A and B are shown apart, each in its own frame.
Chain A
């Protein structure tokens, strides 16, 4: 094999890693904002499944992957409102409600997805070479010969970082997650803020799920997200609630996914169970290490994460 061929494989691999990473990047960014506002949503896996299913279904029916993507985004958002209502308005236990959302997403998509199992999509978002940027050697072909949805995820990260740290909106939402009573005293509507960012988290989980079925795995299977929602929740800790750091986490896991796929396609002798275990094993190790770092460096998660807020009580 010549070296040209090798570098082509590496570029393909990393280009797929970006795609696989995008599936995780959306929900991780979303959950960072939700948690920053003080709401823990463990329902990402469920919302991703709902986004993946509706994204697949709408793309299949309309033959338009972008309509499908929008449908996936929206359905993830709608699903998150159940969690928002229970944990914000009714002040229910957020861990249990989030788990219920995951079970709901799995049940819902298994039930309605029965007829769609093993169907394939014949449309996918097309890659667009960005002028100039795609000409950058190596990196250009990996990062700037992608589809619009991947590009929008780059923009999302930048905008997310800017909103979170440089605007009043971001300041307010962080205030709500750190100390809801003080935020309320400052005139911030705690309920409204939490609703908005829980909904945003849902939209993003839906986006991740939809991107999975539209672009990465264009078919329908029960539980197609295969635990990616939980990896996204782990990535939030890995990123230490910072949208910029989320990129590294998401692409790291994207690379593992892509590598797994590549090795399997090449017919490796490594048992597939071990290959498939890899993302979870690595996440497990990463989460242990980042928890130790969070603890020793005294990085604090949002102080009132998971704590219900009530205006009436003093």
Chain B
């Protein structure tokens, strides 16, 4: 029989090999899935790859999709390291989009751009933060399981958005479509590379991941977060205010997800609608995990998964291959990663 024997040291090499192999396994199973519906997986993947990395415009679209992923997973790295399961980035993102859109829709359009955008950034972050602090407080004071509370808040946020879009925030001239009125120029985030959709948000994302790297590796808060993640009881004995730390970390994580929502509506869509790609909230969980909660690795994973998302959208339009393929690849990669975790700490042996 096979059995697992504990390793004395975690091999560094495996921390890179496992995520890479996991993604490849996801791609491989995805190919089988495509083959079953009678399409040539090679042409699908080739098209996906070219639409993600093939030329500067394709790559710029990948970076555009990587922006929200990076912003959200930066915050998730922090909370996941503490063992707090914030699955609510989806809802926090929506709340960020709603709060920031309020200024764009209801404030005078002639407010100077820097002021308008600042208000929207703050609004978006506050919106996401509120949606994250609710489950954090419920967890700290009443031990309400945050996986379930954050998930339910995702659905609630979606219906708040629908309520507004089919109700008072709907543009009267949108022929009944659930869209807000278009954002004025002052509420549109500047583009940093001409002829692309890469906005100032991309800079925010890079700053965010650097800030998270700094927090977890250079500050007392980051150190305490690590201890809490290892063992809550030890942390309490060490005199760490666990509850306070959890609420702060969730607030940061929610704020970054909210900012991602703001960046999407202000930088890319330019109005508020029901479909604002909130699924980035779920994909970011995968991105954070596949990076082993390491901010530097996370930068590259965001680009890879941004590419899969962006390329996936393109092939859905050009080749009519269902976007479900992206979920299949992502989930199988995640299964492989979690399943392979054991090889970090154990080695497989054969016993007769």
Contacts and interface: CB of A to CB of B under 8 A. Distances in A.
Interface in B306-352: 322-332, 334-335, 338-342
Of listed A110, A227, A273, residue having the most chain B CB within 10 A:
A273
B23 to A, nearest CB: 13
B285 to A, nearest CB: 6
B149 interface: yes
Contacts of B4: 310, 312
A107 B334 contact: no
Given A92-B341, A111-B324, A277 B155 contact: yes
Contacts, number: 148
A271 interface: yes
Chain A interface mostly = helix
Given A291-B142, A295-B142, A277 B160 contact: yes
A61 interface: no
A272 interface: yes
Contacts of A42: 147
Contact of B324 (A107, A281, A284): A107
A104 B156 contact: no
Contacts of A99: 87, 282, 285, 334
Given A227-B155, A281-B156, A86 B339 contact: yes
Given A227-B155, A274-B163, A277-B155, A291 B144 contact: yes
Contacts of A294: 143
A274 B159 contact: yes
B159 A109 contact: no
Given A103-B331, A312-B4, A95 B149 contact: no
A103 B324 contact: no
A107 B332 CA distance: 10
Interface stretch (A166-174, A206-214, A230-238): A230-238
Chain B interface mostly = helix
B213 interface: no
Of listed B138, B286, B331, B342, residue having the most chain A CB within 10 A:
B331
Contacts of A227: 151, 155
A280 B160 CA distance: 12
Given A82-B335, A107-B325, A110-B323, A233 B148 contact: yes
A104 B329 CA distance: 8
Given A106-B327, A109-B324, A287 B338 contact: no
B143 A103 contact: no
Contacts of A234: 148, 152
B324 A114 contact: yes
A95 to B, nearest CB: 6
Contact of B152 (A103, A280, A310): A280
Contact of B156 (A86, A272, A280, A312): A280
B139 to A, nearest CB: 9
A166 to B, nearest CB: 29
Contacts of B152: 230, 234, 280, 283-284, 287
B326 A107 contact: yes
Interface string B156-169: 10011011001100
A110 to B, nearest CB: 3
A104 B142 contact: no
A99 B287 CA distance: 13
Contacts of A110: 322-324, 327
A313 B342 CA distance: 14
A279 B85 CA distance: 22
B122 interface: no
A295 B325 contact: no
A196 B158 CA distance: 36
B145 interface: yes
B334 A103 contact: yes
Contacts of A111: 33, 37, 322, 324-325, 327-328
Given A110-B324, A277-B156, A92 B151 contact: no
B305 interface: no
Contacts of B156: 277, 280-281, 284
A104 B143 contact: no
Nearest to A110: B324
Contacts of B144: 287-288, 291-292
A107 to B, nearest CB: 2
A93 interface: yes
Of listed B282, B325, B338, residue having the most chain A CB within 10 A:
B338
A292 B324 CA distance: 39
Contact of B148 (A91, A96, A287): A287
B56 interface: no
A229 B32 CA distance: 27
A189 to B, nearest CB: 14
A284 B135 CA distance: 10
Interface in A46-97: 82, 85-86, 90-93, 95-97
Contacts of A112: 33, 36-37, 324
B322 A230 contact: no
Contacts of A312: 3-5
Contact of A291 (B37, B143, B282, B327): B143
Given A271-B166, A287-B144, A287-B148, A277 B331 contact: no
Given A104-B332, A287-B145, 4 more contacts: A90-B338, A95-B85, A111-B325, A273-B162
Interface of A: 42, 82, 85-86, 90-93, 95-97, 99-101, 103-104, 106-114, 227, 230, 233-234, 237, 271-274, 276-277, 280-281, 283-284, 287-288, 291-292, 294-295, 310, 312-313
